[in-house]
Amino acid sequence: MRISKAALLVVIAFTVPILVELRTVLAWVNVELTVLESVTLGVAMILAILVWALWPENGESGHSSTR
């Protein structure tokens, strides 16, 4: 795991205001996102963060951890 579980929770929680503000900024430039599209984008962002966080560092396998 690349970051601690607590840090991962903070990063995931931080994505919520980013998504809300992204929707607002896009509305300023006449790009309308529905709530469903915002939720889909949020789920995709969270899944990308989880994949990054759970992917082994530097090709290490999960069985041989030196920590």
* Contact assessment for residue 26 and residue 32, using Cβ atoms and an 8 Å cutoff: yes
- pLDDT confidence of residue 64: 54
Average pLDDT over residues 43-54: 94
- pLDDT confidence of residue 39: 93
End-to-end CA distance of the chain: 11
User: Taking CA 54 as the corner, what is the angle to CA 51 and CA 55, rounded to the nearest 5 degrees?
Assistant: 80
Q: Tell me the C-alpha to C-alpha distance, in Å, between residue 11 and each of 25, 37, 62.
A: 21, 21, 23
**In the block, residue with structure tokens 């962002």:** 45
* % residues pLDDT > 90 (the chain): 70
pTM for this prediction: 0.74
* % residues pLDDT > 70 (the chain): 87
Whole-number mean pLDDT of the chain? 87
- pLDDT confidence of residue 62: 57
